[in-house]
Amino acid sequence: MNDMTPVTALKDWESDQEVRWCPGCGDYAILKAVQRTMPDLGVTPENTVFISGIGCSSRFPYYMETYGFHTIHGRAPAVATGVKLANPDLSVWLVTGDGDGLSIGGNHMLHLLRRNLDTQVLLFNNEIYGLTKGQYSPTSRPGTTSPSTPYGSVDSPVSPCAFALGCGARFVARAIDVNKNLGGTLKEAHAHRGTSFVEIFQNCIVYNEDVFEEFAAKKTAADTQIWVEHGEPLLFAKGAKGLALDVDALSLKVVDVADGDWEAAGVAVHDQANRSLAMMLVQMPFGEFPMALGTIFHNPAETFDAAVTKQNEAASVGKSDDLQALIAQGQTWTVE
Amino acid sequence: MASSAEKIEENEPGDVSAVVVRFAGDSGDGMQLTGGQFTLSTALAGNDLATFPDFPAEIRAPQGTLFGVSAFQINFGSRTIRTAGDAPDVLVAMNPAALKTNVEDLPEGGMIIADSGAFTDRNLSKAGYEANPLEDGSLKKWQLLAIDMSEMTLEAVKPFGLGNKEALRSKNMWTLGLALWMFDRKRQPIIDWLTAKFAKKPEIAEANIAALNAGHAYGETAELGYAFQPRHVDRAPADPGLYRTVTGAEAISLGLVAGSKLANVPLFFGGYPITPASAILHHLSRLKQFGVTTFQAEDEIAAIGAAIGASYAGSLGVTSSSGPGIALKGEAMGLALVTELPLVIVNSQRGGPSTGLPTKTEQSDLYQAIYGRNGDAPMPVIAVRSPSDAFHCAIEACRIATQFMTPVMLLTDGYIANAAEPWLVPEVDSFKPFPVTFHEDAPGEGEKFNPYSRDGKLARPWVKPGTPGLMHRIGGIEKSSSTGNIDYSPSNHQEMTDIRVNKILGVADHIPAQDVALGEPGERLAVVGWGSTYGPIHQSVSRARDAGKSVAQIHIRHVWPLPKNLGELLKSYDRILVPEMNTGQLKTVLRDQYLVDARPLNKVSGQPFRIAEIEAAIEEQLDG
C-alpha cells in the first residue's frame, strides 16, 4: 500500500444491497473474506471493478461497494478484457462459477488465461448448477444424480486448476470458502500481475450440500488438506506425512515422515514456478492423496494489457495523428 | 462522384461515354488485384467509376474450375457513374472457365480478350467445353481477340530467371498493361505501386513491371484491327476538390476513427475474422496513432463483450461482423442496450441464412438488425448506401451511440465493403463535434447516485469506473428506474421498457428529415430503397424520369427509427415500389409502420440489381 492510498475499512467495501443468497451458502463466507481483504490491498473502491457472468456467484458485484458489471452467461472474461484494455489502471476482478466459467464460458476462460490479462478470477466451484435449480455441472463427479441426470451423470468432470494450468495460467491457487487461509490466497492473487486463477470450493447447501466435506471438514483437515508454500516441504498430517516424487511413475507419492526428518523421507520442496509439479499437485486423486490448497503455481510474465499498451505506444511513435491527412491518404487527384 | 448540375444517363445503347470492363480468371490469377489497379488508373485519369468485385469463397479453388472463377467488373465514364454496369462491354477471360461463366453476360458485338495459352485441353475439359471455343466459331457474335498471354508473359519476364510458375504470376500484369493501352492510361502509378509493394523483392517488382510494359507494348505494335483500337474516355465532370478512391470497408474504418475524435473518446474495436467484415479490423489495426485499440477476440461474442467492457470503461466500443457473427452477438447487444452503453455494431451483410454465400452480397439482415434480439430491444439502425457514404454513416453511428447511450447497428454489405469509387475527400473540420461529457459529480451527503437518471433525450449518464463517489453496479438484469438497483416489479419493468422504446424513437427528433433523392413528393410512383441498391435505383428512376414518367426515388439512411416525415411522404404517392436484395424486409417494415401498400421487388441471387430489372418493375407499376 503506498502512502497516497486512503485507508479503507471493511464497511467501505460493503454495498447497501441486501445479500440474497440462500442462508448458509458458502458465498457469504467468500464475500466476507473478500470485503475483509480489500482494505489490505492498497486499492480504492472507485478504482476497483467486479465483473461477473450469470449464476449464483455472479450476483457478487451487487454486494461490493465498487464499480460492478453483472454481464451475461460465461462472457465476463470478454467484458473484463475490454475494461482492462480501455483502462489498465483499474483493479479488475472476475467472479464466476463452474458452469459460468468452465461450461458456457470455457472458451473465454481459456483465452483469458493464455493472454494473461491482469485480473483476478475467483471461480466458485460447487460442482452443481445452483441458480437453475440443481442440474449437474462440468465439475460434477461421474454418477451425480440431478434433475437432468436422474440416472446419474456419465461424463468425466473437468479439473478447474488443471484446465487453467493447461491454458497457460501463470497464477493458480485453490482455497475453501470457509477456510481462514482464503484471505491470504486472495492477497497473493492480487499481488500477481497477470491472470490470477483462484478456485474456491464453495458449499451449495441446497443442491450439493457437503460435497467437499471429506476434505473441507475442520476436524480432519490436518490429514486431508495440504497447504503448499513456495520453498517449503510438501508436508501434511502435522508433518507426519509428505509428498515425494515417484521418479519411476513420474508422479507424486505419499511418504511417512519419521521424527520430522522430511529430507530423509524424500519429501519434495514446493517450487511454485514449476508447472509440472503444479499439474501433479492439482491432479492428485483425493483419498489416496490430500487436497492441495494455497498458491500452487506462480510464475509471472508480461501481462496482455501491458503488451497491448506498449504496442499501441510503439506503433504511434513518429506517426502523425492528423485525421485530415489520414483520410486523404493514398493516390489522390485534384479536380479544379 | 456526383456533380450537381449535370444530367445522368448511363450505358444507353451506343453510348461511348462509359465503358464496362470485366476481368475474369482463376481465383489464383490475381483478378481482384488487376481490377483494383485498373480502378486506380481509371480514377487518376479523372473518370467517374464504380466497381463490382465478385469472387468465390474458396481462397484458391481448384485451378480451371467453373466455381473457382473470380471476376472484377468496373464501369467508368466521362459522366456520373452510379453502378458497376448491367453488362460488360469488354470481357477479359484468362481461361476457359472464366469465358464460360461470363460470356453470356456480354451483349452481342461485345469484345472478348482471351488468353489462348490457357485454353489447353485440360482446362477446356474442366470448363466443360468439348471443342475450343476460340477456334470453333461459337463466339462469332462477339469480337474476339485471342492472345497467348501466358507465353508472352513468360517471354517478357525471362531475363529475371524466375521459375515457370513464378513467372506466370505476372500474367495479370501483362493483361493490365494491355488494358491500360486500350484505354489510354498511364502506367507510372502502377509501376510505383509495384515498386513499393515488392520493395523487399526487387526482382519480382521488375518482372511484374516488365510484364506490364510488355502487355502495353503488345497493344501498340500488334495490328489488332478496328474493334480493338485504343479509346480515350474523357474526364468526368466533378465537383472541385481532392479525390481518392475508397472502398466501403476503408470508409467505415475512417469514419469510425473520425467519429471517435468528434466524440472525443478513444476507439476500441473488438473483432473476429469473418468475410466480408474482416477488412475493417485490418484497417483499424494500423491506426493505433489515432487512439485506436484493436482486439482480435477468440470469437464473435468475446469481440462484442470486450467492446462493451471498453465502453463501460470510457472508450467508444465498436464491433463488426457479418450475419452469422451478428447472430452470435445478439445476447450481448441486449446487454449493451439494457445497460445503456454506447456501442457501434457494423454488419457487413452477405448472403444467408447460416453460412450462406460468404462472398456474395445481400440485404437480408434488416429484420435481424431492427428486431433480432430477445425481449423488447430497440436499437437505432443506419444503412450505408455507397462506399463514400459509409464515412458519413459511421460518424452518424458514433454520434447517436454516444449522445443517446445506446448500441447502434450500422448496416453495410459485401458489395459496398469491397467496391471502390472516387471519393471527394471531406474536410474533417466541416463535421460538427459531439464531445462526450462523462458524469463526474458525486452525489451530496445523504443522496445516492442513480445510474438510470436521464437527460432530455432520455439518455443516462456515462460514468467511468475510477470516478470517486459514483460507484454503482449495472447488469443485464432489470434495474429500478429510480435507484439502479435490481427491480423485478411489474410497474418498473413496464416503465423501463417504455423508456427504452421511447428513447430510441426519440432519436428521430435528432436526424434529418427524409429527402427525395430524385423527383418530388406526390408523384405517381415512389421507388423506396435502403443500402447498396442506391445506385441501380437511382439510374433506373433517372431513366424513367427522362422518359417523362412520374417516378421519384426515396432512399432511407435511418432505417430505425424512421425519419418522422417518412409516413406522410410515402402517402403522397399513388404507388410504392421497394426493391431489395432480400424477400421483402423493408417492404414489411413500411407496411407495418404506415399501413401503406408497399410492393416488393426482390432479388437474392448474390448479385446486385441491374438497372434494367428495376426499370422493368417501374414500368409494371406505372402500367398496372
Q: Which residues of B touch A316 (CB under 8 A)?
A: 288-289
* Burial of A320 per CB tally in 10 Å (0-12, 13-18, 19+): exposed
CB-based contact A333 B243, cutoff 8 Å = yes
pLDDT band at A95 (very low <50, low <70, confident <90, very high): very high
Q: What is the pLDDT of residues A123-133, one digit of tens each?
A: 999 999 999 99
Are the C-beta atoms of residues A51 and A68 closer than 8 Å to each other?
A: yes
All three cell numbers of B228: 480493338
**Residue B15: pLDDT over 70:** no
CB-based contact A83 B298, cutoff 8 Å = no
> Of the given ranges (B186-190, B330-334, B553-557), which has the lowest mean pLDDT?
B186-190
Q: What are phi and psi of B215, to 5 degrees?
A: -60, -40
Range 22-81 of B in CB contact (< 8 A) with A:
40, 43-44, 46
**Cα gap A200→A202, rounded to integer Å:** 6
**Residue B17: pLDDT over 90:** no
Report the gap between the CA of B416 and the closest CA in chain A (Å): 18
All three cell numbers of B263: 466524440
Instruction: Indicate the pairing of strand B575-580 with strand B407-413.
Output: unpaired
Q: What is the pLDDT of residues A75-84, one digit of tens each?
A: 999 999 999 9
CB-based contact B465 A329, cutoff 8 Å = no
CB-based contact B293 A308, cutoff 8 Å = yes
- Higher local confidence (pLDDT), B445 or B434: B434
Query: Which helix (DSSP H) or strand (DSSP E) does residue A34 occupy?
Result: helix A26-37
Q: Which residue in the set A78, A84, A331 is minimally distant from B302, CB to CB?
A: A78
Are the C-beta atoms of residues A335 and B238 closer than 8 Å to each other?
A: yes
All three cell numbers of B201: 523483392
Q: Which residues of A touch B243 (CB under 8 A)?
A: 332-335
Mutate to test the interface with B, among A304, A327, A329, A331 (most CBs of B within 10 A): A327
Residue with cell 439482415: B365
Are the C-beta atoms of residues B525 and B575 closer than 8 Å to each other?
A: yes
Are the C-beta atoms of residues B517 and B82 closer than 8 Å to each other?
A: no
pLDDT band at A5 (very low <50, low <70, confident <90, very high): low
**Residue B482: pLDDT over 50:** yes
Across the range B528-545, mean pLDDT stands at 96
Q: Which residues of B touch A61 (CB under 8 A)?
A: 473, 475
Q: Which residue in the set A70, A110, A335 is minimally distant from B238, CB to CB?
A: A335
- Higher local confidence (pLDDT), B376 or B233: B376
Q: How many CB pairs under 8 A join A and B?
A: 208
Neighbours of B317 (CB within 10 A): 31
All three cell numbers of B151: 507465353
Q: Of B577, B475, B589, nearest to B526 (Cα)?
A: B577
**Cα gap B29→A181, rounded to integer Å:** 66
pLDDT band at B38 (very low <50, low <70, confident <90, very high): very high
Average confidence score pLDDT of chain A: 96
Query: Which helix (DSSP H) or strand (DSSP E) does residue B105 occupy?
Result: none
Across the range B179-193, mean pLDDT stands at 93
CB-based contact B257 A15, cutoff 8 Å = no
Q: Does B310 lie at the interface with A, CB-CB under 8 angstroms?
A: yes
Domain spans of chain A, in order of start: 10-211+302-307
- The residues, ordered by sequence, that sit 6+ positions from B15 with a Cβ below 8 Å of its Cβ are B9
Q: SS in 3 state form for B445-458?
A: CCCCCCCCCCCCCC
Report the gap between the CA of B466 and the closest CA in chain A (Å): 4
Q: Of B49, B43, B138, nearest to B100 (Cα)?
A: B138
pLDDT confidence of residue B7: 41
Across the range B365-388, mean pLDDT stands at 97
Range 437-466 of B in CB contact (< 8 A) with A:
464-466
Across the range B417-429, mean pLDDT stands at 94
3-class state of residue B54 by DSSP: strand
Report the gap between the CA of A85 and the closest CA in chain B (Å): 7
Residue with cell 423508456: B499
pLDDT confidence of residue B161: 86
Q: Which residue in the set A86, A331, A336 is minimally distant from B313, CB to CB?
A: A86
Strand order in the sheet with B316-321: B292-296, B267-271, B316-321, B343-349, B407-413, B381-383, B558-560
Identify the closest residue of chain A to B338 by CA–CA distance.
A71
pLDDT confidence of residue A3: 54
**Cα gap A270→A287, rounded to integer Å:** 21
CATH topology for the A10-211+302-307 domain: Rossmann fold (3.40.50)
**Residue B228: pLDDT over 80:** no
ipTM of the complex, rounded to two decimals: 0.97
Sign of the dihedral defined by the CA atoms of residues B461, B464, B470, B471, in that order: positive
CB-based contact A107 B298, cutoff 8 Å = yes
> Angle at which helices B149-157 and B202-221 pack, to 10 degrees?
130
**Residue B12: pLDDT over 60:** no
Q: Of B410, B366, B420, nearest to B42 (Cα)?
A: B420
Are the C-beta atoms of residues A245 and A270 closer than 8 Å to each other?
A: no
Average confidence score pLDDT of chain B: 94
Instruction: Indicate the pairing of strand B241-247 with strand B420-424.
Output: antiparallel
**Residue A291: pLDDT over 50:** yes
Sign of the dihedral defined by the CA atoms of residues B519, B523, B526, B527, in that order: negative
pLDDT band at A4 (very low <50, low <70, confident <90, very high): low
Q: Which residues of B touch A75 (CB under 8 A)?
A: 301-302, 305, 332
Sign of the dihedral defined by the CA atoms of residues A93, A97, A101, A102, in that order: positive
pLDDT confidence of residue B16: 64
End-to-end CA, chain A = 65
**Residue B537: pLDDT over 90:** yes
Residue with cell 432505417: B559
